[in-house]
Homo-oligomer: A and B are copies of this chain.
Amino acid sequence: MRQSRSDSKTHALDDLAAALNAAGYRVTKPRLAVIEVVLRAGRALSIEEILTRARRLHPQVGLATVYRCIDMLDRIGCSQHVWINGKGYVSACRDERLHYHLVCRRCHTVTEVDVAVCTDALQQSMAEAGFYAQQGAIEVLGTCQACRSRIEERVG
């Protein structure tokens, strides 16, 4: 039997808790709640979405803690910020190599593009320019398949 999706996510969560500890951060309930929410989402979440979901796991989480926790995840390199219409969204970032996130403007779903496909040539261009990328993922904004179908349904 294959391991279930939920098990693997729980596993990633444990790993992250260990990583926190190793990086000198304390492992607290609010932090675990926020991290779990971000990891399980499969799409970019706004801060209030994270807050709402995190409160289901640990009801007294505060807004400031969410911001502070996201900052921490950024520093560790486990999360990515996207700005969609002037508002910040956060998505998990699991692959350590530079890769692409295709982010849907409508539903905020994040599709991770297979790394090997495009990044090599880009890396080379950056090397030539002497540019050092400081992002875990490169965000491309657009519309996903599902949302496009939905739009066509309504129009057609």
Identify the stretch in A12-20, A26-34, A53-61, A135-143 within 8 Å (CB) of chain B at 4 or more residues.
A135-143
- Residues of A126-156 at the interface with B, using a CB-CB cut-off of 8 Å, are 126, 129-135, 138-145, 148
Size category of the A interface is 20 to 34
Contact B126–A135 (Cβ < 8 Å): no
Contact A113–B102 (Cβ < 8 Å): no
Question: What residues of B have a CB within 8 angstroms of the CB of A117 in the complex?
Answer: 121-122, 124-125
Contact B148–A142 (Cβ < 8 Å): no
Contact B135–A141 (Cβ < 8 Å): yes
Within 8 Å by CB of A135, from B104, B114, B135, B140, lies B140
CB proximity of A62 to chain B, nearest CB, Å: 19
11 A-B pairs with CB atoms under 8 Å apart are: A100-B125, A105-B134, A113-B129, A117-B121, A117-B125, A118-B122, A130-B145, A130-B148, A131-B145, A132-B148, A135-B141
Once the chains are docked, how many angstroms separate the CA of A138 from the CA of B148? 21
Question: What residues of B have a CB within 8 angstroms of the CB of A86 in the complex?
Answer: 88
**Which single residue of chain B is at the shortest CB-CB distance from A102?**
B131
Question: What residues of B have a CB within 8 angstroms of the CB of A141 in the complex?
Answer: 133-135
Q: A131-B142, A145-B130 are in contact. Are A113 and B122 (CB under 8 A)?
A: yes
Once the chains are docked, how many angstroms separate the CA of A118 from the CA of B148? 25
CB proximity of A139 to chain B, nearest CB, Å: 8
Once the chains are docked, how many angstroms separate the CA of A123 from the CA of B35? 32
Question: What residues of B have a CB within 8 angstroms of the CB of A25 in the complex?
Answer: none
